[in-house]
Structure 1
Amino acid sequence: MRLKPVPEPPTDLDRLREYQRAVPLVPGDTDDCCARLRRRCDLPDRQTANDWLAFLRALGLVEETSRGFVRADAEPTPERVREGLRTGILFVPEALAALDEASPDDPLTPDDLFAATRDAVPRHDRARDPDWEAAWRDRARRLLEWLALVDLAVRADADPDGAAEGAGYVAGDAA
């Protein structure tokens, strides 16, 4: 099963390690883990913390046990994050395939990725959010930024402001 949450990516894997370390070594229930993530990582709300918890689990950095969530005995290496993204996050295979077809002259943008996956967005997400298209476009942007963080993608444009909203990407060295 691939998970939907894709939080805003950190600037580097050391920051990702901080999110992982916010999850306890002794199993805790979802509410406890979310409260701890919010407090230690300065997250704005429980939903954001819950998204991080699910995302860390998809990356293999957190485990869910019968007694709750616990920090995994695993480091957030580029290889581990790449594998977790490939196997655990919705639309990563589609993004990687699209990146393979992209070129510096025609890079993959978040809008392109959204257009390629739009019809596969779960119905319940469409039904519960009247602005679901904007939410899933933003998710596509975050997903491409995560792929770039671990060299599965590379920014193809030189936006002087560093804005990622319209940034284009091509396959990275680790793809």
Structure 2
Amino acid sequence: MTNNSFYAIIDKEALKHNINYLKNFKNKNILPVIKANAYGHDILLISKLLYDLDIKTWAVARLSEALDIIENFKKFKISDYKILVFESIENYKILNENPNIFPSINSIKEFKAALANNIETERMSLKIDLGFGRNGILENEIESLKKLAKFNDWKFFGIFSHLFSATYDDGLVVIQKFTDIVNKLG
């Protein structure tokens, strides 16, 4: 047996069925996370397949992944998609040149820098760190964020957190904490 003795078959109809099942289960849209080369399934293949299935918004971990997708989609003359990037992006030139990239904002400092570099809030997603030691806006920064937003009519692409590892009961506490923060921000 060689190292190349395995392969995966991506069944477009099965993927379509699974997407529709997930969307209908809670009557919500989905945001596929295709980081880490679509978990080994080829990020360029999967992003194009999702696009063809009318799923035009995805999340990746790294800016480099988003740039690879953008470069690939130029071949297809496709421009109506969005890529949420989880990592902090400090290269505002790249953000301004690539409107398909939707940055995660991981601190008040990043938020202010993004505003100063003309990144529209409609492209930003606020990541909240709920104590798992990951990146994100800290709970004690929420009041500062609320004060900043008080005199502005900002609309964001999204707000999210990362529930890294928790027991069921602890998970419920964290989800309630997140809900309280979202309600506090309005």
Larger Rg: 2
Higher strand share: 2
Range into which the TM-score falls when normalised by the shorter chain: 0.3 to 0.5
TM-score, scaled relative to structure 1 = 0.33
TM-score, scaled relative to structure 2 = 0.32
Q: Which has the higher contact order (CA 8 A, sep 6+)?
A: 1
